[in-house]
Amino acid sequence: MPEMLEVEVYRQTAAQSLGRRIVAVDASDAWFLKGGTDEASVVGALVGRTFVTDRRRGKLLLLDTSEDGPTLGLRFGMTGVLELDGVDAIDGLEYSSHRKDPAWERFVVYFEDGGALRLRDPRRLGGVELDPDEERLGPDAGDASLTQLRAVLSESNAPLKARLMDQARLAGLGNLLTDEILWRAGFDPARAAGSLTSDDVAALRRTMRTTLRVLGRRGGSHMGDLQDSRHRGGVCPTDGAVLLRRTIGGRTTYSCPQHQR
């Protein structure tokens, strides 16, 4: 599914739509409109305006509009794909089909120059919202300060992995990134979040930033070193131990019993 690295690529793609006059919007899929908005509101808010700023917070893509118009928030759920001017932002991602089935088009913004920004989502778990409440999300995992990360984890008995994936506390990490980061940092995803020492949190933050940078360069959250071992009987690429496969925070989790403590 799209995690923050994929949405970051979507943001860079959407940046190419800035300054282009919006002449029409297809927001006819009522299910896809969130936050109590409807088709007429979305069309009325966007047509005649341009996108002026592209931003991202965690997995939420934000496009501010001209003339004090609203901010458009796009969420990609499990399978959402962003397409600009007929070209997918990311080719060949594993989590979704890149077949261009018109039935999967959930939201389209048409520009005066003939181009269009399309959100395709086979499973329809993403959404579109005007002025989404950004404060309901924690700080972005790529920007979180040490103080912020300590606040996310401290005094919590929740499993470390569940806490890191709680978007209200820390925005952006999904299942694959979290497993990769904890594997690299050597922390057991099931241990209590609050059991990390101050030095542990600092080390985790360093690993988190490095992992995001490296996997971003490689092309996405499925490019981790642990990825090929994510199957029953898979072994740790570092020490050869058979990986544990558990459900933590509701998600299938792979970790090494040998070096993750």
Stretch that binds Zn ion, among 52-60, 122-130, 138-146, 252-260 (CB under 5 A): 252-260
The answer to whether the CB of 224 falls within 8 A of the CB of 180 is: yes
| Residue 238 interacts with Zn ion (CB under 5 A): yes or no | yes
33 makes contact with Zn ion (CB under 5 A): no
Kindly indicate which of the ranges 10-18, 82-90, 117-125, 249-257 contains the residues binding Zn ion, using the contact rule CB under 5 A. Answer: 249-257
Q: Which helix (H) or strand (E) holds 198?
A: helix 198-218
Least distance (Å) between residue 129 CB and Zn ion: 41
Write down the least CB distance from residue 183 to Zn ion, Å: 7
Q: Rank residues 84 and 236 by Cβ distance to Zn ion and give the closer one.
A: 236
236, 248, 249, 253: which one contacts Zn ion (CB under 5 A)?
Answer: 236
Q: Decide if residue 258 touches Zn ion (CB under 5 A).
A: yes
Q: Which is nearer to Zn ion, 152 or 185 (CB)?
A: 185
Nearest 5°: the CA angle 115, 50, 138 is 105
CA angle 46, 173, 208 (to 5 degrees): 125
Q: Among the candidate windows 108-116, 189-197, 227-235, 239-247, which touches Zn ion by CB under 5 A?
A: 239-247
C-alpha to C-alpha distances, 55 to 13, 45, 138, 192, 212, nearest whole angstrom: 11, 19, 15, 33, 17
CA distance 218 to 237: 18
Q: How far apart are CB 261 and Zn ion at their closest, in Å? A: 10
Closest separation between CB of residue 260 and Zn ion, Å? 7
Q: Does 256 bind Zn ion (CB under 5 A)?
A: yes
Considering only residues 55, 150, 209, 259, which one is a binding residue for Zn ion as defined by CB under 5 A?
259
Stretch that binds Zn ion, among 10-18, 52-60, 84-92, 237-245 (CB under 5 A): 237-245
- How far apart are alpha carbons 1 and 3 in whole angstroms? 6
**Which residues lie below 8 Å from residue 20, measured CB to CB, with a gap of 6+?**
50, 51, 111, 112, 113, 115
Task: Identify which of residues 37 and 258 has a Cβ nearer to Zn ion in the complex.
Answer: 258
The CA distance from 38 to 8, in Å, is 27
* Cα–Cα dist 98/240, whole Å: 35
> How many residues are listed for the chain in this entry?
261
By CB under 5 A, which span of 93-101, 117-125, 203-211, 248-256 interacts with Zn ion?
Answer: 248-256
Taking the CB of residue 5, how many other CB atoms lie within 10 A of it?
27
Query: In this structure, are residues 165 and 251 in contact, taking their beta carbons and an 8 Å threshold?
Result: yes
Count of residues in contact with Zn ion, rule CB under 5 A: 6
Q: Does 156 bind Zn ion (CB under 5 A)?
A: no
Task: Name the site residues for Zn ion (rule: CB under 5 A).
Answer: 236, 238-239, 256, 258-259
